[in-house]
A and B are shown apart, each in its own frame.
Chain A
């Protein structure tokens, strides 16, 4: 369970003025080296998901826009990593203020040291803060899938900074930092609401505000490099073990449970998506297999520490066809251009996962969990749905306001000419693939 008890209570706060090493009480707690090494490794695994996502998304765009999507993911890594030190961590995990936002005690990573976080979480506070950072990074990167191939890079930079500060950080506080959603009893093990619903819904709003890509009205746009997408999906699946198992914050049985159900749900998602597509169009596609796996990974995220492997199979079997329906039929019906299906997979899969957590959660598999519908507590489903609705409204509203604000000062979208030439050349001045340079080819042949 990610809910944490920070060592800095009201009492400790008073000594921040007195000493540079304020966490006096924590100094007595000895670090658990096993947990510490586990969390450090999981942090690295979660970080790897963002370049993995870049490959996953990169394969899906047109070849002229490959660098633009890689650059957006890299920019999310760099920008959020710096933002987190200055303000992000403290807003999300600083001492709670009226259950809405973290206080500024950790601004600039002040007061965050090598001492243990708390008796319950005997890892360095730095390790915890670093682990949380990786989640903030990938959440920002996930949104890029919705507005791929048309947003100006300068706008993207400002958007990521504002979005992470105004949407991700408060939401992480509400669910994990002791805020009102956690007090309401919402269960989100590793980020179904905080990471997937928030990024998916924000992406949908951004895609609607930016409009469709050139040429999208007349035809679907084909992915340019499917092997790259499969590579990216593999890295995501791999990194997701750090994401979900690491969210146990300890190398313990709950981590093992999260690890196992993560793999199981990804597998069931891949199987069910491919089966649905096979029945629907007659061919099992590779794109469907990797999309289904990611849909399964998304769905299990909020539930990972709370459900049994058999429940994970059911969750994955639903997630595949549900997300397939979202990206094929629902997207067509409403006509929005969620280019790489950030909403269709992360929004829809995350919503299913959040609700399913309330259905399948069981104290029998994890005594720290709360029972869900199938264990006789239907009210947990309502709590989950409440959390989902508030996340939708909050993420959508704030994303709208942020983009409207940026739109007051500059255009959000590249010009038609820039879009046709490709964002790689027009925004970054580089080619992703320098094909057939005729001189060089000729020289090689002359040898």
Chain B
């Protein structure tokens, strides 16, 4: 099993959720995060005082899936969240050792 961790633009979350839902990928964990990568600082002015904003609001979506689902989900994220501009985000993929559903104590695939 894999954990797919995608950091995306906040405005893309609803669209991604809808696309994954169509693929019957329902489970996910979503975080509001701040981060920075290639995006340049943005300058803001408060009463003429310059403030350099170098952390940007992003959304992190975590999905756990069986190994053979990995590429389908990655493709869905790429197609949905990609604008081609700097700031689209990144995808990280990790192996998952075990899954346990707390309510039923099911393990592995059954807990997905």
The chain A residues found within 8 Å of chain B, CB to CB, are 219-220, 222-223, 277, 280-281, 283, 285, 287-288, 291, 324, 327-329, 331-332, 341, 344
Q: Which residues of A contact B48 (CB under 8 A)?
A: 277, 280-281, 324, 327-329
Sample of 9 A–B contacts (CB below 8 Å): A219-B51, A220-B51, A222-B51, A277-B45, A285-B46, A287-B47, A324-B47, A328-B48, A344-B47
Question: B45 and A341: CB pair below 8 A?
Answer: no
Chain B residues near A324: list those with CB within 8 A. 47-48
Contacts of B44 in A (CB 8 A): 222
How distant is B84 from chain A, measured CB to nearest CB, in Å? Answer: 25
Summed over the interface, the residue pairs from A and B with CB atoms below 8 Å come to a total of 35
Q: Are A288 and B51 within 8 A (Cβ)? A: no
Q: Nearest residue in A to B53 (C-beta to C-beta)?
A: A222
SS class, residues of chain B in contact with chain A: strand
List the A side residues contacting B51 at CB < 8 Å: 219-220, 222
Contacts of B46 in A (CB 8 A): 220, 222-223, 285, 287
Interface centre among B44, B48, B52 (most CB of A within 10 A): B48
Chain B 41-75 per-residue mask, 1 if CB under 8 angstroms from chain A, else 0: 00011111111100000000000000000000000
Q: In the assembled complex, how far is the CB of residue B103 from the closest CB belonging to chain A, in whole angstroms? A: 12
Mark interface residues in B2-43 (1 if CB within 8 Å of A CB, else 0): 000000000000000000000000000000000000000000
CB distance from B93 to the nearest CB of A (A): 28
CA of A332 to CA of B45, assembled, Å: 13
Knowing that A219-B52, A281-B48, A287-B47 touch, tell me 6 more A-B residue pairs with CB under 8 angstroms: A220-B49, A223-B46, A281-B45, A283-B45, A328-B48, A332-B49
- Bound Cα distance A111, B50 (Å): 55
Report Cα–Cα, A328/B45, bound state, in Å.
9
Give chain A residues whose Cβ lies under 8 Å from the Cβ of B50: 220
CA distance A341 to B44 in the complex (A): 18
A207 to B2 Cα, complex, angstroms: 57
Q: Which chain A residue shows the least CB distance to B43?
A: A281
Q: Contact between B47 and A328 (Cβ–Cβ < 8 Å)?
A: yes
CA distance A327 to B46 in the complex (A): 10
Tell me the complex Cα distance, A360–B50, Å. 36
Measured between beta carbons, the chain B residues less than 8 angstroms from A277 are 45, 48
CB distance from A321 to the nearest CB of B (A): 11
Would you give the shortest CB distance from A247 to chain B, in whole angstroms? 28
Q: What residue in chain B is nearest A282 (Cβ atoms)?
A: B45
Taken together as a complex, chains A and B put the C-alpha atoms of A221 and B52 apart, in Å, by 10
B52 adjacent to A288 (CB under 8 Å): no
Which residue on chain A has the smallest CB distance to residue B44? A222
